[in-house]
Chain A
Amino acid sequence: MDGDKAFRIGLNLTAFLFILFVGITFLSLIIASGPSIKAFGWKFVISTEWDPTAGKFGALPFLTGTLLTSFLALLMSTPLAFSLALFLGIYSRKGLRFAYILDYAVDLLAGIPSVIYGLWALFFLVPVVRWMEIKMNITPFGVGIFTASLVLAIMIIPYISSISKEMVAMVPQDLLEAGMALGATDWEVVKNIIVPYCLSGFYAGILLGLGRALGETMAVTMVIGNFNGMPKDLFSPGNTMASVIANEFAEAVGDLHLSSLIQIGLWLFLVNVIVNLVGQVIVRKVSIRR
């Protein structure tokens, strides 16, 4: 039975090494951000100055860019994603063929690499936004916060809808039938039975979408304009935490510059871990209720 013991030890070792690995991940980010943390402290997240020549680094413009694009994207995609979830949840249950096709299509949307979203946005969305901006008589950059949010909105729809859809599909049949038996219309069933039942699933979906939007890099980098200052309005160029890393990392000017970029990565890591953990807690609660 020695072989069995060795096998068990091997398994436990794998798990142990994995835990160690995640710990090292976090540690190495902290160590590598050390010089920048030491130099700027808390000012790093409240300063708008990003000046490699003067050796001053403040990440507020990128925090702003990330939050702005992510929340705008959520704002735009949430209604779409929830409609989709309701439609798919209700009608695929009724065996509607079209619902299956739609479901498959949304899955496809989730599988498209972000660089392809970026390519498409660059040659399709940017001219559209520029045309809008000319009509609105503002500087027609075409690229900027708004364009980036638009791409993000499209990209996160499948993430929000997939978990919400599963929740809708999980609503017990007898509840629905009870509602219908009372003569409720579809709308009333959705409002009074499905939505309350699925609320936590909807929240989890939003968090999942948010997590994805916060860390998204390529599509954003390609259309946000890469300007390292505070965005003046929704149509002005900006930068996000992820996109500034993508732009400047390989050619960082000095060690402090590199370390500041890594610190931005550390923040991105932490924010994502928190969003993710909250999402996991919600999902866990849901599955326990199930």
Chain B
Amino acid sequence: MNRIRGLYLFVSLLAFLGFTSPSFTSNALAKEKELVGAGATFPYPLYSKMFSEYYRVYKVKVNYQAIGSGGGIRQLRAKVVDFGASDAYLSDEELAKFPAPVLHIPITAGAVAISYNLPGNPSLRLTPEVLADIFLGKITRWDDPRIQQINLSTKLPPMKIIVVHRSDGSGTTFIFTDYLSKVSKEWAQRVGKGKAVKWPTGLGGKGNAGVAGLIKQLPGAIGYVELVYCLTNDMPFAAIKNKSGNFVLPSIESVTESANIELPDDMRVSLCDTSAPNGYPISGFTWILVYQDLSQGGLSEEKAQALADLLWWMTHEGQKYTKPLHFSPLSDTAKRKVEALLKKLTFKGKVLLQPESRP
């Protein structure tokens, strides 16, 4: 009996230790120095690198939870987090649901690559029309003349096409369906764009990893994955014909290039089907979302200042961490727009980043 009671005490102690572990107590005591954010999974590797560097230098802890864009937006609206992160910008309708104005600060740009699994994995070129028809289920075989026609140098195998898409809501899906909606009228009418859509055909995989896993496992598969996943995983990806008629492979440069276009002041812009001649057409920004007046988000003045400084750092000095992690840095045009946006950040009406104090 005593032994058993001892065991029970031990287990209770274990759980209790959890509650009072250093991370927990210091967390409660030093709440002022910690910023909390939640949202998109796609930039998570980059954000975790940036935040750990930032902590090393400035001793500001940033606790970021990659719970998905949808969750990030919901939690920012509920004022549970200090900032949200999303791969899709908010529509006017969604913005209207927020208690106060929200700013979109782009941090990096990403590309959605079209990956596939064919014998020998030859290089592949796709036009927007063919891509849309594959995902609409209208082209069902790899040796379809319409695919063969644009890939004259390769003999495509007589295999059925297996379409793979995301089964969970995701910013990646938003960028991809946004692109298809722009290039295909039929897609825009039948399916539309969104973080989760009603797919006409195919298999679903959970997360980028789930889609990539299915593509790797099923010969004849085609699917869309974040470029980072393809690069770190040696998966083949197709060159896509852009608006200017060039076949462009996704890369850090071609994605940055796609943002070299006329950008709106609020930075709520889709880079899909870019008019930049060497830009990869299926790309988009990923944003950090904050209340324009940070007091509206329930932040103290100290935290508001810390957050404004962090955002400035991420869009400037922090940009050097993008390329090594296969993310694309902001273009110069984009950077100038971001600076203007950041200077609009206020705390109870007081501007947080004084123009003269910044380069």
Number of A-B contacts (CB under 8 A): 94
Query: How close is A101's CB to chain B, nearest CB, in angstroms?
Result: 32
The answer to whether B218 touches A226 (Cβ under 8 A) is: no
The answer to whether A53 touches B196 (Cβ under 8 A) is: yes
Q: Which residues of A contact B218 (CB under 8 A)?
A: 130, 140-142
- Give bound CA distance, A250 to B220, whole Å: 30
Q: Which residues of B contact A239 (CB under 8 A)?
A: 167, 204
Contact of A251 with B170 at beta-carbon distance under 8 Å, contacts A139-B162, A226-B203 already known? yes
Closest A residue, CB atoms, query B200: A229
Of the candidates B68, B71, B160, B202, which one forms a contact with A140 in the assembled complex, judged by CB atoms under 8 Å apart? B160
- Give bound CA distance, A141 to B203, whole Å: 8
Question: B155 within 8 Å of A by Cβ?
Answer: no
Number of interface residues of B (CB under 8 A): 32
Contact of A228 with B71 at beta-carbon distance under 8 Å, contacts A141-B218, A142-B218 already known? no
- Give bound CA distance, A142 to B221, whole Å: 12
Question: B311 within 8 Å of A by Cβ?
Answer: no
Chief secondary structure at chain A's binding surface: loop
- Give bound CA distance, A227 to B218, whole Å: 16
Q: Which residues of A contact B206 (CB under 8 A)?
A: 221, 226, 246-247
Question: B358 within 8 Å of A by Cβ?
Answer: no
The answer to whether B168 touches A247 (Cβ under 8 A) is: yes
Question: A253 within 8 Å of B by Cβ?
Answer: yes
Of the candidates A51, A52, A247, which one forms a contact with B204 in the assembled complex, judged by CB atoms under 8 Å apart? A247
Q: Which residues of B contact A253 (CB under 8 A)?
A: 70, 169, 194-196
Residues of A within 8 A of B (CB): 49-54, 122, 126, 130, 139-143, 221, 225-229, 237, 239, 246-248, 250-254, 257
12 extra interface residue pairs, beta carbon distance < 8 Å, beyond A142-B218, A143-B203, A254-B70: A52-B194, A52-B196, A53-B177, A53-B192, A140-B162, A140-B218, A141-B203, A226-B206, A237-B203, A252-B169, A253-B169, A253-B195
Residues of B within 8 A of A (CB): 67-71, 160, 162, 167-170, 177, 191-199, 201-206, 214, 217-220
Chain A to chain B contacts (Cβ below 8 Å), 11 pairs: A52-B196, A52-B198, A54-B198, A141-B218, A237-B203, A237-B204, A247-B167, A247-B204, A250-B71, A251-B169, A254-B70
